[in-house]
Structures are given as structure tokens and as C-alpha cells.
Chains A and B, each alone.
Chain A
Amino acid sequence: MKTKTFPHGIHPQEFKETTSNKSLQPLPAPEKVIIPLHQHFGSPAEPLVKKGDEVFMGQKIGESNSFFSACVHSSVSGKVMKIENYNHPLGNPVPAVTISNDGKDRVFPDIKEQKDPLSLNPEKIRQIVKDAGIVGLGGAAFPTAVKLSPPKDKPIDTIIINGCECEPVLTADHRLMLEYPDDIIKGAELVRIATGAKKIILGIENNKQDVYNLLQKKIYTFPLEISLLKTKYPQGAEKNLISALLKRAVPRGGLPFDVGVVVQNVGTVKAIWDAVAEGKPLYERALTVSGAGITSPKNLIVRIGSLFQNAIDYCGGLQDSANILVMGGPMMGLAQGTSDVPVIKGTSGILAWAEPEHITEHNCISCGRCVTHCPMGLVPTQLMKYSKLDYLSEAESRGIMDCVECGSCQYSCPAGIPLVHWLRVGKHKITDLKRKKSA
């Protein structure tokens, strides 16, 4: 079968076979959960509860008035112990609600099933998605309600459901598609209704042939097409996926809206279906706990606010050699200093392995591999030099802000140069400068 793909990119070793055959299983809810009020792209949520309050499972405990934000819900039933700053996997501590779990999982009384979810109007679907606190579960945690509200002048014709899971090691999306195919397809249909698009394309890398065969039987009468993509990193990067499936190029600095597309991760559409059909807000998610440093790797469904350590313990604990802990995939994931951090909505994986302490860095020998592999068509080595030298306007005109930090350049760099680090530094310098100018 002919598979679609994008130009450039890399083929890292996948290590997916460790967990790709392991069913998703729920991680038992811990004795207490620590739910950060800021887990998403946009403004933080304000707490709706206070110390000592009794909360239900699925009860809204944080909300913001801002459009670019997402509500936060309790993932257990119990009592609010405290609301104060706690470690956060994205870096700085943020206010978090600690809830002691009474173990009863008493569901919030307002949560009830919807009789005919597919007959709802777009406005209603958007409202439910917003109230359910759904964000992009691929990792970026962009508020989904915003993505479902395209500007009036930018009509959407195609919904792309991202089932690539191009990051090595991760298999949670793979399992979701195998175990909840109907929910995902119906969730995708809800997205289509909400945005007024004509058709849905579900893109899967060809290392998940089993999913492709299964979903082909499940199309029913939906305007859905399952498309097989080459297994290549970063196939699931939004702009590359659009280019692979539709041959459309999102303008520099633009959004998929600009080319009439909305991209949603499979986990996100499953969450949308759960929210609309069952009234269930986003208080748990699927993730992969894996890597050579995890004793018995698993795919888990984890309550938001469980600690990384809870998930690691459930998977047999850490190997003695493990010296790196990463949230997300090995290409774009964030290294964690401690396992005392809560699982948030954007946690697609918890990985641990033994990392070499030091990589010898050589001078750039202009081999050009960063250029051949960059999926965005940049010259990373040149941008790295601009960033080091503070040549910010050159860096900007040569596309440093277009960098998606996928890491393909650094992966292929024989000189061991931390290219992504330097590009990030350059991007930060530019945004800082702009902020100062506008202030």
C-alpha cells in the first residue's frame, strides 16, 4: 500500500514493542492527588474550592474567565487538604489543589449521559468541551474549545485526527485506538460537527497496521477516511501532518485554521466523546510508562494529579541504573528532576532509562545533516550560531521562530551540538525583546 509522508525527518529506533501489546489498565487512584491549576496553554485557572471542602470525582475545582484557558476537575472524591504551590512537570511550581482520596469515587451528581450526542449543535458541543476542561492530549495541552472555534473568515473543510504517535517508545495512543475505536471515531465526528468541516482524515503511521485494519471496519457512514502514513519522525507534527495528508502548507507563523484544517490527537477526540456522550470531564488520561529504566513497562489510565512516583511504583519501580526521567516522548519530552511531580493533562508518557553522563561536543563540520533532516526547512546550524552571537534579527528572518523543537537536527548531528537548546535560547531572546518593546 502506498503511504503518505512529508519531506525530511528522521528514523529513530522505536522501542515501541515493549508496550505496544499491553492493554491499557487503570492506575489505582492514590491516597491523595495534587492537581495543578495550570496544566494547559493559556491563563491559569482560579480555584473554585477551598481547604476543607468536600469534592466529588469530576467536580470542577478550577476555572478561568479567559478564552485561552481550561477548567480543572477533581480526579477523586474526598476532601481538599490544601491549595498551595507544588512541583510542576513543566518547570516552576504552580498553585495546586491537594485532595485526600476517600476511595469511594463518588461521581459529581451533575454528570449524566447524553441521549443522542451526534445531534447536538456546534455551540453546545463547544460548551461541553470547554466545561470538561479538555486540552490537546498530544502533549502541547492547547485548549480544545479554542481549536473548535475557528474564526468566521476561515472556513474549515477537513478535520485531521492525529494517530501517528511518532515519538519513539510511546504506545498509549496506539492502545487507545485499538481498545476504543468507536469512541474515537464518534469523537472525531463531533469535532467535524463543531467546526462545520466536510470530512475527517485519520492519519496512522504504518507501524500500526493492526489499528488500520480495525478502523477500516468501523467507518460506518461517517465521512471518514483512514490514511496510512510512513513511519517517520515527526510525522505527527501538526504542520508536517497537514503537508503529508493534504499537500497544504500552513503559512509561516500561521495556524492550521489558515488552510482550513483542524488537527486533533486521538486521545483528545476520545476525551471529547467521553465528555459529550457521558458527561465525563477530563480527569484521567492514557499514558505510557516505559523505557529501560522502568522495571515492568505498562500502558496506564492515570488520574490527573497522581504523582509520577505512583505510576512508577505500579510499574515495578525504577532500575538502579536509571538516571533520567522524562515526561512525554524521548524526542520532545521534558526531563524531570524529581519523581515527586503530578501527572497533568499533557503527560503522554513517563519514561526512565540510563543516559550517558556526557556527550563530547565537537565543532560543527558543516555536514549539513541538520538541514537534510529538518522537517521545517531550516538551517539549524546557522540559527544556532546566530543565537549564540545574539544576531536576533538574522535568526528571525531565517526562520528561528518556525522551529518546532522536534529535535531531528540534534538527533542527526554527529558533532553532538545541543542545537535545539540554542534555538530555544534564541527564540526566548526574541520573545523577550518583543515583550520589552511592546511594554
Chain B
Amino acid sequence: MTNNRFILKSSPHFKGKDSVPKIMYAVILSLIPAIAASFYFFRMRALLIYLLSVSVCLITEAVFLKARKKPMHSLWDGSAIITGLLLAMTLPPSLSLDIVVIGAVVSITLGKHVFGGLGDNIFNPALVGRAFLQVAFPVAMTTWIPPVTNQINTATYATPLGNLKFQTAAIQGALTPLKDLFWGNIGGCLGETSAVALLLGAAFLLYKRAIDWRIPVGIISILTVFTGVFWLTGPDKYASPAFHILAGGLIIGAFFMATDMVTSPISPLGTWIYALGIGLLIGIIRLFGGFPEGVMFSILFMNTFVPLINRYTRPRILGERSTP
């Protein structure tokens, strides 16, 4: 008996198990410790900002998918949720909720869909939203409150990097202790304060190979070298590399934002160039720029170079060198 019931498809017929949603949900899972830490430090404010940011991102994504007649399954590929979470994590806890909504809408529209949606965006969507808010609401975006766990009764509060930049904390010996930076009992953006929670998630991502290890390694090593040189020449004027690594948005930026696959280079060599560029820029901005923090701008700046980097770091084709 002859059988004709077979499907016709092009080879290969085997497929690895990984998928875009799996990668995205691994990232979401890895953010959970840091999110939990922000609930612990900032309580209800944190919950509100997260919920709002994620739901507005999802709604905006749905509207765009519908309008652009794209398949709706893309809504649940996890990318919009990540954008919402990462945006919330980089916002000051005291930010008013209407600004959160604006940030989320801008992230998905200007950060993602104007370029053609997931995969075609040049910049990290969450950082586009954050950069927009930084420019549009400069005061609100730089007003900080102390974590609930910190017994200080003041309306405003400075971040460790703000102290370093504007209060010349290094000279006065009033730098935030590394222990606080590590555990997160400091002022700062919602999800960036606890280094240990972020590193826990990062370890999971590295284990899952959902992020390229070269990016955090490249950023952290060049930043260590750059800030280390200045620290060694003037330990009373400059903060140590350990301080720079643990303070501000460096950990979240290096492990969770610069590693966004869409907006980072493809080849290993390109990845090194990109990572070193980010690390160096962060060092320059933090030490000599007008802002206390430079992670966001550094990543966005290097994002613009990714197509160019990809162009010049194309891998060598087998036999290319021996081709006459």
C-alpha cells in the first residue's frame, strides 16, 4: 500500500528547542529577584509602577500589532513585558504615575514600532522611553526618595553617584559604603539599587546562555581599568572601581540592557567592540560629564553603532583567505 499523507517541507527537519518566547521569559524570570528587592525597599510605589508600566506597554504593543496587521502571538512573546519591567526598574520610585504611562507609551512607539517592531529596532526600547522622560521631566527624573528600610526622614535624598558627583563625597570620605550598594539599601532607581539581586538573575541568564557573557565582562573590565587608573592616582578624589561597578545602573545596564540581542552586535568581535565602547563611555561620563550617571546614554550611543559594527566585523567565510 502506498502512502501519500506526508507533509512537504524544506530541510532541516530537526530543530533546537530554544525559542524567542523561551529566551524572553528567561529574562523575565531573571528579573524577579531584583523586582522582589524593589518591593522590599520601596513597597507599594514599586508595585504600582511595575503594574502600570507593564500593562501600558502591553496595551501599546497590542494597538500597534493590530494597526500594523501583525500576528497577535507577538504580543505574548515576552518582549513587551520585558520593556515594561526594565523601564519601571530604571525610574525613580517617587515618579508620578502619569509620567510612567508616558514613558511606557514612548518606549513601545518610538523605541520599537516606528522601526518595524521587535527585531528591527535600533535602540533598547526601555532606554528610549527613559531617555525621553529624562529630557521631558528632568526634575521629576532626578528626585530621589530613600528606601523604606532606611530610617531617614527627608523629602529628598541623593543617590550614591549623585553624592559622588555633586557633594564631592569622595573628598569628604562620605561615599556610600560598598555593603549598602551591594545589598541595595540606598537611593536610586526602582530596580537598580540591589546589586546582589540583579547578579542573582544575571547568573541565571548566563547559565541559560540567554545573554552574551562578553558584554557584561567587556563593560565591567574596561570600567574597572578606566576608573581604577584614576582611583590609583588620586584615591582621595576618585571613587574605587568597586564603587563604580556596584553604584547606579551599571549592573542592570551591563547584564540586562546592553545585552538585548536585537540592539547588540552579532559577531563575537563586534560584541567586544560594543561592550568596550559602553564601558569606556560610562567611565568618561561619570568622571567628567555633567551627569552623575552615564549608563543609559552610553548604551543608547553604542546602539547606534551596532549596524556599522556588524558591517565591519563580519566573520571570515571558510576558504576566504585562500581564495585567489
**Interface set of A (CB-CB < 8 Å, partner B):** 10, 12-13, 168, 239-240, 243, 249-254, 259, 307, 309, 312, 318, 323-326, 330-340, 352, 355, 357, 359-360, 362-368, 371-372, 374-379, 381-382, 398-399, 402, 405-407, 410-416, 418, 420-421, 424
- Which 4 pairs between the two chains have the least Cβ-Cβ distance? A407-B12, A363-B119, A368-B266, A362-B20
Q: A368-B266, A371-B266 are in contact. Are A337 and B4 (CB under 8 A)?
A: yes
Question: B317 contacts which chain A residues (CB < 8 A)?
Answer: 252, 376-378, 399, 402
Kindly state the separation between the CA atoms of A12 and B314 in the bound complex, as whole angstroms. Answer: 26
Q: Is the CB of A415 within 8 A of B8?
A: no
- Is B14 in contact with A331, judged by CB distance below 8 angstroms? yes
Q: Which of A363, A372, A414 contacts B118 (CB 8 A)?
A: A363
Chain B residue nearest in CB terms to A381: B266
User: Residues of B at under 8 Å CB distance from A?
Assistant: 1-16, 18-23, 73-74, 77, 117-120, 212, 261-268, 310, 314-324
- The docked-state distance in angstroms from the alpha carbon of A384 to that of B105 is 32
- Assess whether B119 is in contact with A249, with CB atoms less than 8 Å apart: no
- Max chain B CB contacts within 10 Å: which of A13, A367, A418? A367
A residues near B9, Cβ cutoff 8 Å: 324, 335, 355
**Contact A254 B318, beta carbon cutoff 8 Å:** no
Q: Is the CB of B2 within 8 A of A339?
A: yes
Q: Please, could you name 14 A-B residue pairs with CB atoms under 8 Å apart, sorted by A?
A: A12-B16, A312-B3, A335-B8, A337-B4, A338-B3, A363-B20, A365-B118, A365-B262, A366-B266, A411-B14, A412-B18, A414-B16, A416-B15, A418-B10
Q: Which of B4, B7, B16, B21 has the most CB of A within 10 A?
A: B16
Question: Which residue, A309, A331, A360, A398, has most C-beta atoms of chain B within 10 A?
Answer: A360
- Bound CA span A414–B23, Å: 8
> Are B267's CB and A368's CB within 8 A?
yes
Residues of B within 8 A of A402 (CB): 317-319
**Nearest A residue (CB) for B12:** A407
Q: Which label, helix, strand, loop or mixed, suits the secondary structure of the A interface?
A: loop
- Per DSSP, are chain B's interface residues mostly helix, strand or loop, or mixed? loop
B12 smallest CB distance to A (angstroms): 3
Q: B266–A326 contact, CB under 8 A?
A: no
Are the CB atoms of B13 and A326 closer together than 8 Å?
yes
Contacts of A252 in B (CB 8 A): 317-320, 323
In whole angstroms, what is the CA distance A410 to B13 when docked? 9
> Looking at B7, B14, B74, which has the most chain A CB atoms within 10 Å of its CB?
B14
- Also in contact, A168 and B14, with CB within 8 A (given A249-B318, A402-B318): yes
Give min CB distance, A91 to chain B, whole Å. Answer: 10
Which residues of B lie under 8 Å from residue A410 when comparing CB positions?
12, 15
Shortest beta-carbon distance from B305 to chain A in Å: 14
Given contacts A360-B73, A365-B119, 6 further A-B contacts (CB under 8 A): A324-B13, A335-B10, A352-B6, A377-B317, A399-B317, A402-B319
Bound CA span A93–B324, Å: 40
Q: Is the CB of B19 within 8 A of A414?
A: yes
Cα-based distance from A318 to B73 in the complex (angstroms)? 34
Residue pair B6, A250 in contact (C-beta under 8 Å)? no
With a 10 A CB-CB cut-off, give which of B12, B15, B16, B314 has the most chain A CB atoms: B12
Q: Give Cα A411 to B19, complex, Å.
A: 11
- Given A365-B118, A365-B261, A376-B318, A309 contacting B11 (CB threshold 8 A): no
- A325 CB, nearest partner CB in chain B, Å: 5
Q: Are B323 and A355 in contact (CB under 8 A)?
A: no
Contact A10–B16 (Cβ < 8 Å): yes
Contact status B261-A367, CB under 8 Å = yes
Let me know if A424 and B10 touch, CB within 8 A. yes
Q: Give bound CA distance, A259 to B3, whole Å.
A: 46
B12/A332 in contact, CB under 8 A: yes
Given A360-B73, A362-B118, A379-B314, A254:B319 Cβ within 8 A:
yes
- By a CB distance below 8 angstroms, the chain A residues around B263 are 366
One of A336, A360, A363, A372 near B117 (C-beta < 8 A): A363
B322 close to A251 (CB less than 8 A): yes
Say yes or no: A249 contacts B322, CB within 8 Å: yes
Query: Which residues of chain A are within 8 angstroms of B12 by Cβ–Cβ distance?
Result: 330-332, 406-407, 410-411, 420
Q: How far is the CA of A374 from the CA of B321 in the complex (A)?
A: 17
Q: How far is the CB of B180 from chain A (nearest CB, A)?
A: 36
Given A239-B318, A368-B267, A333–B119 Cβ distance below 8 Å? Answer: no
| Residues A414 and B119 in contact, CB atoms below 8 Å apart | no
Asked if B267 contacts A323 (CB within 8 A), the reply is no
